[in-house]
């Protein structure tokens, strides 16, 4: 297993290096100058030049890149151009809220996908499968901002059962019941498209397993359909579903930016939006690289889980 994991590390490091080059380069192509933005429209050329020198923007681009890369390697995330404080503190403040939101959304997505897929397979009713298929299609097709707006209108305006946005004023641990009320709508909005995509793949994988010879043998032995699905078909269908889950977890990170804006959730999504609008290069670079790092780690964990579920994968990787 260790050899299998080690074989995935070089490609992960290569992805991180290439991502750093792309992120650093693309941000420099955005029109505008951070020094001019910070100095204001009435600033003199000398003042703008002084700000550029203070920020290190007067250095060659290649030198700026390697300086930034060296700082990242030593754990120095730098300072924000606009806010003027340590990026580490900004990221730390928003990271907890984003992790809570994405973690809750991921849990909801897994539970919904299992309920839809396994429930539909066990019920084995054509009309129920048709209804679930329509619900899945709608959940995938509707943009996140539409789903979020509908949830706010229904649950915060019409029925007034949940707060429209924000975070718990007393934190997430002081009043768990109150925190759940603030968390439910944004987490559900973020989880719905992921749950729909995951349930489709899991349902297809279960149908494939139910047509396998070992299932026919189990049926001939008189084993109930429920037991076959839960103890044999579902475990064998999980590796492909776990792969899809790893990809969809990356979609959660991207969707969190919009969901946090809709529900006024002060996480990394709002922070990256503020950084882009203010041309805050160091802040945006760190946030995007953090997203890439999380995605790479998720893929490594996904490969590891697949290898644990299917010995053929790790034996092939070790060979």
Tell me the domains of the chain and their CATH numbers: 1-82+278-319 (no CATH), 87-265 (1.10.3720.10)
The pLDDT tens digits for 105-154 are 999 999 999 999 999 999 888 888 888 888 888 888 888 889 999 999 99
Query: Do the beta carbons of residue 176 and residue 104 sit within 8 Å?
Result: no
Encode pLDDT of 271-313 as tens digits: 887 787 777 778 888 888 888 888 888 888 887 777 777 666 6
Ramachandran angles phi, psi of 49, nearest 5°: -65, -35
Q: Name the maximum alpha-carbon separation found in the chain.
A: 87
Helix (H/G/I), strand (E/B), else coil: 79: strand
Band of pLDDT at residue 316, cut at 50, 70 and 90: low
The answer to whether the pTM exceeds 0.85 is: no
Using the 8-state DSSP alphabet, how is residue 167 labeled?
A: -
Q: How many angstroms separate the Cα of 192 from the Cα of each of 2, 15, 173, 174, 248?
A: 35, 29, 25, 28, 11
Proportion of the chain above pLDDT 70, given as a percent: 94
């Amino acid at each position: 297993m260790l050899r299998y994991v080690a074989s995935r590390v070089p490609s992960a490091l290569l992805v991180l290096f290439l991502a750093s080059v792309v992120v650093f380069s693309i941000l420099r192509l955005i029109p505008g100058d951070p020094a001019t933005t910070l100095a204001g429209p009435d600033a003199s050329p000398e003042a703008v030049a002084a700000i550029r020198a203070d920020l290190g923007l007067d250095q060659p681009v290649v030198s700026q890149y390697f300086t930034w890369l060296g700082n990242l390697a030593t754990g120095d995330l730098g300072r924000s151009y606009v806010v003027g404080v340590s990026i580490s503190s900004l990221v730390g403040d928003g990271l907890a809220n984003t992790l809570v939101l994405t973690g809750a959304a991921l849990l909801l997505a897994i539970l919904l996908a299992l309920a839809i897929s396994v429930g539909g397979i066990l019920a084995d009713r054509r009309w129920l499968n048709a209804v679930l298929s329509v619900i899945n299609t709608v959940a995938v097709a509707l943009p996140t901002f539409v789903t979020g707006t509908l949830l706010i209108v229904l649950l915060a305006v019409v029925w007034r059962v949940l707060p429209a946005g924000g975070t718990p004023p007393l934190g997430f641990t002081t009043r768990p019941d109150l925190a759940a009320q603030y968390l439910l709508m944004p987490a559900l909005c973020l989880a719905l498209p992921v749950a729909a995509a995951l349930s489709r793949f899991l349902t297809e994988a279960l149908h494939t397993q139910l047509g396998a010879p070992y299932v026919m043998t189990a049926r001939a032995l008189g084993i109930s359909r429920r037991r076959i699905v839960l103890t044999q078909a579902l475990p064998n269908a999980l590796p492909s579903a776990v792969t899809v889950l790893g990809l969809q977890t990356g979609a959660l990170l991207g969707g969190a930016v919009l969901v946090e804006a809709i529900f006024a959730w002060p996480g990394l999504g709002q922070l990256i939006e503020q950084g882009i609008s203010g041309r805050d290069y160091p802040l945006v670079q760190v946030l995007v690289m953090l997203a890439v790092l999380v995605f790479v780690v998720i893929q490594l964990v996904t490969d590891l889980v697949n290898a644990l579920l299917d010995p053929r994968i790790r034996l092939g990787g070790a060979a």
